[in-house]
């Protein structure tokens, strides 16, 4: 049995004050068990959230990091800097970073390797654009991205990672994939993991769906056999809505 995981991706939203308010509301209403809860906040809000959420089962994630441990990389944050402030997850290769910040399959792989080395759980994003989907390239795209992201890793490292299948056309658009279509692509991703790392690893690795997930549609995704939770942007920004997503996954 794979424990479902609901990860909020706040993107470039929330000041420290706003993040603290979210944490206080989330703590007050956090009753469900059996679901792993993660909030991926902007770097500046992470220390305050770490203090506010100490002693709860809501874990902290970052939205990016550099793959080097230290050095002359102005503006970057290293894996150990994240560990130091209580972060345990890190989103890697989100389509917005691939699109706007030149993230490539190669840098995604380097970051996944560095995250695991630092004992951070990578949430590795893969997914096709609308053009690619319409050209029938979805399975090729997710195969290429998945193989590249986990290149050189051991089965145990892959099993301990999280994959988020996020079709780009569904992110922040209100146009979500059907649960059946999402499950079909996630099953392809799982089969790629099975081919490369063995069936046992494929059955262990958790694969989330992401793209316009809301409290109203979370149950339909969770009802699918291969979907192990969600990576959620917009609907994770309000504590009540985030907790409804968690309830919907439990």
195 is catalytic: no
Specify the DSSP class assigned to residue 197.
Answer: H
| The two three-digit tokens of residue 151, written as one number | 């290149």
Q: Among 116-124, 149-157, 166-174, 182-190, which window interacts with ligand PEP (CB under 6 A)?
A: 166-174
Burial of 102 (0-12, 13-18, 19+ CB in 10 A): exposed
Residue placing its CB nearer to ligand PEP in the complex, 66 or 97? 97
Residue 240 and residue 248 in contact, taking contact as beta carbons nearer than 8 Å: no
Helix and strand totals (H; E) in the chain: 12, 8
Phi-psi region of 20 (alpha: psi -120 to 50; beta: other; left: phi over 0): alpha
User: How many residues lie near ligand PEP (CB under 6 A)?
Assistant: 14
When the beta carbons of 202 and 229 are compared against ligand PEP, the nearer one is 229
Stretch that binds ligand PEP, among 46-54, 76-84, 182-190, 233-241 (CB under 6 A): 233-241
Specify whether 180 is catalytic. no
Q: Is 61 in the site for ligand PEP (CB under 6 A)?
A: no
User: Judged by CB, which is closer to ligand PEP: 34, or 172?
Assistant: 172
Which residue's Cβ has the minimum distance to ligand PEP? 233
Structure token pair of residue 36: 């792993």
Q: Please report whether residue 93 would count as binding ligand PEP according to CB under 6 A.
A: no
Residue 71 assigned ligand-binding role: no
Q: What b/e string do you get for 214-244 counting C-beta neighbours within 10 Å, with b at 16 or more?
A: bbebbebbbebebbbbbbbbbbbbebeebbb
* Residues acting as catalytic residues: 94, 166
Binding residues for substrate: 9-11, 172, 212, 233-234
Binding residues: 9-11, 172, 212, 233-234
């Amino acid at each position: 049995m794979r424990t479902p995981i609901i990860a909020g991706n706040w993107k470039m939203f929330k000041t420290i004050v706003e993040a603290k308010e979210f944490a206080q509301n989330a703590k007050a209403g956090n009753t469900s068990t059996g679901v792993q809860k993660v909030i991926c906040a902007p770097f500046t809000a992470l220390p305050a959230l770490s203090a506010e959420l100490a002693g709860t089962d809501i874990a902290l994630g970052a939205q990016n990091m550099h793959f080097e441990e230290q050095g002359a990389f102005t503006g970057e944050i290293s894996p150990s800097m994240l560990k130091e402030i209580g972060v345990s997850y890190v989103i890697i290769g989100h389509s917005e970073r691939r699109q706007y910040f030149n993230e490539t399959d190669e840098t995604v792989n380097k970051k996944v390797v560095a995250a695991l080395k630092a004992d951070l759980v990578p949430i590795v994003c893969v997914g096709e654009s609308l053009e690619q989907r319409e050209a029938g390239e979805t399975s090729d795209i997710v195969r290429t991205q998945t193989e590249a992201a986990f290149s050189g890793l051991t089965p145990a490292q892959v099993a301990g990672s999280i994959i988020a299948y996020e079709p780009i056309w569904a992110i922040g658009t209100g146009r979500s994939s059907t649960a059946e279509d999402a499950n079909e692509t996630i099953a392809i991703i799982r089969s790629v993991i099975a081919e490369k790392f063995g069936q046992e690893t494929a059955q262990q690795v958790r694969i989330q769906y992401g793209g316009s997930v809301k409290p109203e549609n979370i149950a339909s995704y969770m009802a699918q056999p291969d979907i192990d939770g969600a990576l959620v942007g917009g609907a994770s920004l309000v504590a009540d809505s985030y907790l409804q997503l968690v309830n919907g996954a439990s």
